[in-house]
Amino acid sequence: LSNQNKWIVDFGQNFAGVVSFHLKKAKRGQRIVIKHAEILKSDGDLNVAFLRSAKASLTYICKDGEQSFSPTLTYMGFRYVSIEGIESIEDIDIEAFALYSDIEQIGDFECSNPLINRLQKNIIWSSKSNFVDIPTDCPQRYERMGWTGDIAVFAKTACFNFDVSRFLEKWLLDLRKEQLHSGGLPNTIPSHRYAFPVTMPKMAVDFWGDASLLVPMALYEKNGDKTILTKSYKSMKKYVNACKFWAHFGVGKHRYIWHTPSIFHFGDWVAPDVSKMSDWQKRSKWTATASLKNTSTILSNVAHILNKKEDEVYYKELAQNVSEAYESVFTDHKGKLLNEFQTGYVLPLEFHMFKEENVSFAAMNLKKLVEKNHYCIGTGFPGTPYILFALADNGYADTAYKMLENTKCPSWLYEVKVGATTIWERWDGLNENGECPIGEDGTGGMISYNHYASGAVGDFLYRRVAGIEPLEAGYRSFLVKPLIGGNLTYAKAHTKTPYGTIEVFWEIKDKQFKLNVSVPYGSEAKIVLPNKEVYIRSHGNYTFEATL
């Protein structure tokens, strides 16, 4: 930007890290200012509006001659930097370094759709960018905090891609230390000024506090180590009991409906089918009630694993009571919501809250909503990780694939189509001209371009598209059942387990399906082909074929 004596550098990738520069010549007292941003404005300058109070700026005072500098004890979230204080860009050599905790990447996914492959890369980059000592929400603005809701919905995807055991176990220790005697949890771990909303001083909110159960269970499922459940059990129980307390303010059929309108909830956070933050929050009675059912079920299952029989029975009954209340209050008793929205169907379908005779009708109604919305996403944080499962597992795999492959906004691949190199907080972060349309629109101008939560779709890529599903915690026994569909002609994935690396590759040529599976030593695979043929295989490499 010659009119401002400013140079813009594009590193080609959004990430968390720092720059390092070498000045070829400089004078004593010369002032170099380097600012960081994720996107540019239409005039080519940095767009820093969404950093809020974060300065994201380095100021370096020179000595005479050549010199080099890289900051310590800090990091930024950025793709672009501006450089001021030099006469020519030729005076400086600048490079950037990505910073993240020492976590090994143990898995990856690829398929015949290059946009989905870029989506997978974006999931990886957003994970690294937000795994800096703690699991954060975003690395660029003034927060950079351990928001519980983000990792709650993303933990399963993280476990496919990375060995996050020690990383998340340490964070869970922090969570347990910060939990109140009442069972309440801060919304951020470590707690900060966002820890407890003013209107809810001693309680976490639905799905955010659920991290106390969802994260340990994700680790247990991946590694098969009960230790994390034993360490977390008391915390899990205190949290679910606290949620049950809030739900019991209702009377009659509302007794198990968690509806506390005077108390802050995130609700269907960043759902794109409604425009204001207040509209997201109005859905909290649906999301909170479904949350209570899910956490009660998980706690009952953990009690079974740890041989706590009384707790197993008690929380199973609680989960059943919550399910019945959800159907009684929110539906016509025939699988149709009285107030329809995608998340309102997704959660009870995924958490098995509908009566058996109503499941198919609920799934059909969800399908109709998705079709009406042109296969675009309408879910917020709570529903997004589960929507493709809710469709595919209830007979609508074609609809799920149309959502996955959709490139219209809002969708996973729209972001990729307009140049995203990480996962966004908001689906509409940029329009097709590369401009940010978000202002003070009732959401506080909230946008991050490096926010992994909606990247939880990675769980579907591994479990359904590639077909890798644990049958036992730790993958001693696992399922390989690829869900073919959409326009995909091949997919492959691998993930490391305690027994070794599972590898899956499938392809379709001339209506012939071919599947390669690598089974680690000491484990057993159940392979299900599209023609319903079933095979059981132990350690080794295998090839299967079927006619479609």
- Would you say the C-alpha torsion 227, 231, 234, 240 has a positive or negative sign? negative
DSSP annotation of 323 reads: H
Q: DSSP string of 373-422?
A: TTT-----TTTTTTHHHHHHTTT-HHHHHHHHH--SSSSHHHHHHTT-SS
Contact 367, 393 (CB under 8 A): no
Coil, strand or helix: which one is 468? strand
Task: Tell me the angle at which helices 284-305 and 342-350 cross, rounded to the nearest 10 degrees.
Answer: 10
- Which residue out of 143, 169, 327, 503 is catalytically annotated? 143
Residue type at position 535: Y
CA quadruple 68, 70, 76, 79: dihedral, nearest 10: 40
Q: Is 425 a catalytic residue?
A: yes
- Residue matched to tokens 């476990």: 159
Coil, strand or helix: which one is 287? helix
Q: Is 340 a catalytic residue?
A: no
Q: Cα 446 to the chain's mean position, in Å? A: 17
Q: How do beta strands 477-480 and 524-528 pair?
A: parallel
- Which residue out of 110, 169, 405, 425 is catalytically annotated? 425
Please confirm whether the linkage preceding 71 is cis (ω < 30° from 0).
no
Distance from C-alpha of 158 to C-alpha of 166, rounded to nearest angstrom = 13
Active-site annotation, residues: 143, 425
